[in-house]
Amino acid sequence: MQASCNVTARAQRLVQIPRGRHTITSAAGHYRNTTRTSLAAAERIEMFKSLEGWAADNVLPLLKPVEKCWQPQDFLPDPRLPAAEFAEEVRLLRERTAELSDEYFVVLVGDMVTEDALPTYETMINTFDGVRDETGASPSPWAVWNRAWTAEENRHGDLLRTFLYLSGRVDMRMVERTVQYLIGSGMDPGLENNPYLGFVYTSFQERATFISHGNTARLAKEGGDPVLARICGVIAADEKRHELAYTRIVEKLLELDPNGAVLAVADMMRRSITMPAHLMYDGRDPQLFQHYSAVAQRLGVYTAGDYADILEFLVGRWGLEKLGCGLDGEGRMAQEYVCGLAQRIRRLQERADERAKKMKKEAVEFSWIFDREVVL
């Protein structure tokens, strides 16, 4: 790390300490401030308009043609089979899940519910100035991307939902109720219609989902279900491709407007990255999201360490430590803050882990698994 990226005392004061024992998310009350990106909204719209040709050449190729995409049906029992053979496929599916734990299913349901709130995410991206779909079928490459990205993502929730339904391991009615509540609630990650913040957020999120689906794949394999491992694996691969697209957009912003872009990265991290399903509710547990996150943390599916790793990865991917000319004083402060943050999060997490070890373990009932208890 370059000397300029050491965390200064002032930058340290700007760190928002993640809340709670399981610090990967903050469900509400995140940092509020007007973003100090250097361009005004009108200039941003102009800029993204001028980048349409670039987006067509550099972002759209990261979509996969529908004909080359996997579909949920590729991984599920084939309903064209005679009833007895179909039932046999379902029986085998259930047999394969037998060794997977209740807590694994809690995490898989939480992941599926998160994927299923896709209408919220498409809406959120359509709030970004300069890239929103003005008609619903706009030919702008930004709008084309958003619709096709949504269509690719839509397969994730579909596949996980059908798998969970066939597994018989979860209370589908409670899962469905959670999805309805969540879509009804929306999300508020504090992006202020600003595509700079928006694409930093989506870069982070795609990598977070890549990591968590990769970990559910690994656990499925270890637990004796190679088909579920493949399911989670192909979803993770999509997330990786989407991460590439969003990080490429931020890379372009850093090239054209390094000061504005690094301020956006810093602003986003100061708010802390709120997970997309932070308003999750099943009608019973007001802390459902925190409880699901705690189980994901304990199983190693998505942890505070992953949060710091993602940040570190993005700092490297975007070459933030090397940004030199083009930054003013405020930009350099933002650079220092962002480049030192992962280390600081890790230190705070170590202390939180120490405290957590001394606390009594709590068990919570999850409606998704028929009110059985899971240790957090």
Residue 238 is among the residues annotated as catalytic for this protein: yes
Burial (Cβ within 10 Å: 0-12, 13-18, ≥19) of residue 10: exposed
Which one, 133 or 153, has the nearer CB to Fe ion? 153
Classified as helix, coil or strand, 375 is strand
Tell me whether residue 152 is annotated as binding. Answer: no
Query: Is residue 132 involved in binding Fe ion (CB under 5 A)?
Result: no
Structure tokens at 40: 């005004």
DSSP annotation string for 33-94: -----SS-HHHHHHHHHHTHHHHHHHTGGGS--GGGS--GGGGS--TTS-HHHHHHHHHHHH
Residue 78 is among the residues annotated as catalytic for this protein: no
Report, in this order, helix, strand and coil percent for the chain, each rounded to 5: 65, 0, 30
Cα 122 off chain centre by: 14
> Among the candidate windows 3-11, 66-74, 151-159, 277-285, which touches Fe ion by CB under 5 A?
151-159
Which one, 121 or 318, has the nearer CB to Fe ion? 121
Which one, 102 or 309, has the nearer CB to Fe ion? 309
Query: Is residue 161 involved in binding Fe ion (CB under 5 A)?
Result: no
Residue 242 is among the residues annotated as catalytic for this protein: yes
- Answer left, alpha or beta for residue 17, where phi above 0 means left and psi between -120 and 50 means alpha: beta
Tell me whether residue 222 is annotated as binding. Answer: no
Active-site option among 35, 97, 114, 156: 156
Please check whether residue 89 is in contact with residue 78, taking contact to mean a CB–CB distance below 8 angstroms.
yes
- Min CB(114)–Fe ion separation in Å: 8
> Which residue's CB atom is positioned nearest to Fe ion?
156
Residue 54 is among the residues annotated as catalytic for this protein: no
- Spatial separation of the C-alpha atoms in residues 47 and 365, rounded to whole Å: 50
- Min CB(266)–Fe ion separation in Å: 24
In the range 288-347, which residues lie near Fe ion by CB under 5 A?
Answer: none
C-alpha distances in angstroms, 273 versus 2, 30, 226, 258, 307?
25, 9, 32, 21, 9
Query: Is residue 278 involved in binding Fe ion (CB under 5 A)?
Result: no
Which residue of 103, 111, 239, 267 would you call a contact of Fe ion, by CB under 5 A? 239
Which residue of 30, 156, 207, 278 would you call a contact of Fe ion, by CB under 5 A? 156
Residue 278 is among the residues annotated as catalytic for this protein: no
* Total of residues contacting Fe ion (CB under 5 A): 7
In the range 199-218, which residues lie near Fe ion by CB under 5 A?
Answer: 206, 209
Which one, 97 or 202, has the nearer CB to Fe ion? 202
x/- track of binding to Fe ion for residues 91-130 (CB under 5 A): ------------------------x---------------
Tell me whether residue 103 is annotated as binding. Answer: no
Which one, 122 or 365, has the nearer CB to Fe ion? 122
Query: Phi, psi (5° rounding) for residue 280?
Result: -60, 140
Please check whether residue 154 is in contact with residue 80, taking contact to mean a CB–CB distance below 8 angstroms.
no
Which residue of 103, 116, 129, 153 would you call a contact of Fe ion, by CB under 5 A? 153
Tell me whether residue 336 is annotated as binding. Answer: no
- Spatial separation of the C-alpha atoms in residues 167 and 169, rounded to whole Å: 5
Beta strand pairing status for 372-375 and 363-366? antiparallel
Tell me whether residue 115 is annotated as binding. Answer: yes
Helix (H), strand (E) at residue 139? none
Residue 251 is among the residues annotated as catalytic for this protein: no
Give me the residues that bind Fe ion (CB under 5 A), please.
Answer: 115, 153, 156, 206, 209, 239, 242
Catalytic residues: 70, 115, 153, 156, 206, 209, 238-239, 242
Question: Which residues make up each annotated binding site for Fe cation?
Answer: 115, 153, 156, 206, 239, 242
